[in-house]
Amino acid sequence: MAGGEGLTARFEGFSQKVTHAVGRPWAFLIALLVIVLWAVSGPVFGFGDTWQLVINTSTTIVTFLMVFLIQQTQNKDSKAMELKLNELVAATKGASNRLIDVEALTEDDLDVLHGYYRQLVQLSRRDRDLTESHSLEEAEKAHSGKSGR
């Protein structure tokens, strides 16, 4: 394992642990307690600039670091979900394989696919049976057959 791979694995593990920990009720209560203690200490420090700077700097630093940790966890979770969905599409008979790895398409390509599925919804509403077809082509063929075209 190269040095970069070890660092990545350690960062993944660390970010998952931190993200899990800060998503718990006790983490919120600790943050709330810090804010309450800061507010209560205001009169002691005369509500001065340094008093305000302490909370502003602290929250900015924590927020800045948490963005990266949470994003790491979100990236990994998103990738895992994409792979699971790709497997379901690939394994489902009648499902359109065009949707495998759909997240890699451009925004314009996604808009075209979205348009196809809007058409599918319209066809399904007319047929009143949402399980009638699995793809736009099947829906159009079934709809044409039903309408005598």
Give mean pLDDT, residues 112-141.
Answer: 74
Taking phi first (over 0 means left), then psi (-120 to 50 degrees means alpha), and beta for anything else, what does residue 8 get? Answer: alpha
**Does the pLDDT of residue 134 top 70, yes or no?**
no
Which amino acid makes up residue 1?
M
Q: Which of 59-73, 85-99, 110-124 has the highest mean predicted lDDT (pLDDT)?
A: 59-73
Domain boundaries, the chain: 3-91, 102-147
Instruction: Identify the pLDDT of residue 5.
Output: 81
Percentage of the chain exceeding pLDDT 90: 61
Q: What is the mean pLDDT of the chain?
A: 86
Please determine, for residue 130, whether its predicted confidence score (pLDDT) is greater than 70. Answer: no
130: DSSP letter = T
Q: Which of 31, 26, 25, 38 is nearest to 66 (CA)?
A: 31
- pLDDT band of 61, cuts 50, 70, 90: very high
Q: Per-residue pLDDT tens for 23-55?
A: 999 999 999 999 999 999 999 999 999 999 999
User: Which residue type is seen at 132?
Assistant: E
Query: How does residue 120 score in pLDDT terms, banded at 50, 70 and 90?
Result: confident
Q: 78 falls in which pLDDT band (50, 70, 90)?
A: very high
Q: Which two tokens stand for residue 127?
A: 């047929």
Mean pLDDT computed over 94-104:
84
